[in-house]
Amino acid sequence: MSKRAQSDSNQNRQAWLGGLLKGLVVVFSWMPLRMNRWFGSLIGLLMWWIPNSNKRVSEKNIAVAFPELSAEEQSQLVKRSLMHLGQVVTELGPAWCWPESKLLPLIKEVKGQAFLDQARAQNKGILLLAPHIGAWEVNGMYTSTTQESTYLYRPPNIPSVEAFMVKARSRYGAKLSPTDMRGVRDLVKGLKAQQLSAILPDQDPGERGGVYAPFFGRPARTMTLVSKLIQKSDCAFLFVVMERLPKAQGYRLHVLPAEPEVASEDEEVAAAALNRGVEACIRIAPEQYLWSYKRYRHPPEGVEDIYKA
């Protein structure tokens, strides 16, 4: 096969996959929330029953994070976390397609509103640190309605779905910028203009974008972008979690204060404080965290790679 033919084949496959994913999101949006949650839980149970990497990685991570739990308790936490992982998938329907009048009333409570009010009273930009826990997509949709917002996004692996994703996430008024240098500049500019932004602080930043810091007692590569953004923009910063309520009752937003050390110029001090904040968020609802993510990959020299053990 010629290079041109191979390129055309790849483009066709990408377009087909993108169309399939967009179709699934739309189908999920047709379901009432109770059915949507049920279907997501079923996907999670399939991941629990059938051997797969999501289950294996979750088992490794939970064993590290909660050694005080018995083997049975860890196993049940893995099971519940996979059910929530399935709900992350089906939840894209409401988060990306439902109108504001239908989605936002599902947020039944905001715990820690006073912290948000105090941050706004400083007349600064606000950087929300939103780990991969609960309904983080719904989190972004809600917060974009409370204040002029600029968010970074990572372009998807399937390029044909990018335009659909950006349109969906920005439909309540947020400005989205890709995770490149221009996007970071847009983010700093927005924060300096007293806008709101959010970042997922528990992503692996790669070899050059972070330092090692303890995460549940084990070293994990941790981004330094958060502390740099705060230093450049002089913004306020808080942790947020959009917790799923049981029985499809909706959501509860938690706003938590962050340690001042998150803004430290000492990168290791800042990263350690950042991870402690993420841990505090996780303890709100441990089963809703994305334990299937390889948070401890590429460990420092001399530390065992738990995913290869």
The per-residue pLDDT for 4 is 61
Q: What angle do CA 69, 74, 80 make, to 5 degrees?
A: 130
Closest CA to 47 of 101, 88, 107: 88
Q: What does the pLDDT look like over 20-45, one tens digit per residue?
A: 889 999 999 999 999 999 999 999 99
Cβ-proximal residues to 51 (8 Å cutoff; 6+ apart), any chain: none
Distance CA 254, CA 130 (A): 10
Q: Who contacts 138 (Cβ-Cβ below 8 Å, separation ≥6)?
A: 91, 94, 95, 103, 106, 107, 242, 251
Residue 56's region, left for phi above 0, alpha for psi from -120 to 50, else beta, is: alpha
Predicted confidence (pLDDT) per residue in 242-279, tens digit: 999 999 999 999 999 999 999 999 999 999 999 999 99
For residue 18, what pLDDT is reported?
Answer: 80
In angstroms, rounded to a whole number, what is the distance separating the alpha carbons of residues 129 and 198? 6
In angstroms, how far apart are the furthest CA atoms of the chain?
63
pLDDT computed for residue 14 by the predictor: 75
**Cα angle 241-41-254, degrees, rounded to a multiple of 5:** 10
How many other C-beta atoms can be found within 10 angstroms of the C-beta atom of residue 172? 18
Query: Which ranges of the chain have pLDDT less than 70?
Result: 1-12
The size of the chain, in residues, is: 309
Q: Residue 267, exposed/middle/buried by CB under 10 A (0-12, 13-18, 19+)?
A: middle
Tokens matching residue 24? 């699934």
Q: How far apart are CA 102 and CA 74, in angstroms?
A: 36
Report the predicted TM-score, pTM, of the whole model to 2 decimal places.
0.93
Phi and psi angles of residue 212, each rounded to the nearest 5 degrees, phi first: -85, 135
Query: pLDDT at position 11, please?
Result: 67
What is residue 119's three-state secondary structure? helix
- Measured at the CA of 231, the angle between CA 127 and CA 144, to 5 degrees, comes to 15
Predicted confidence at residue 179, as pLDDT, reads: 82
Give the CA count within 13 Å in the CB-facing half-sphere of 282. 22
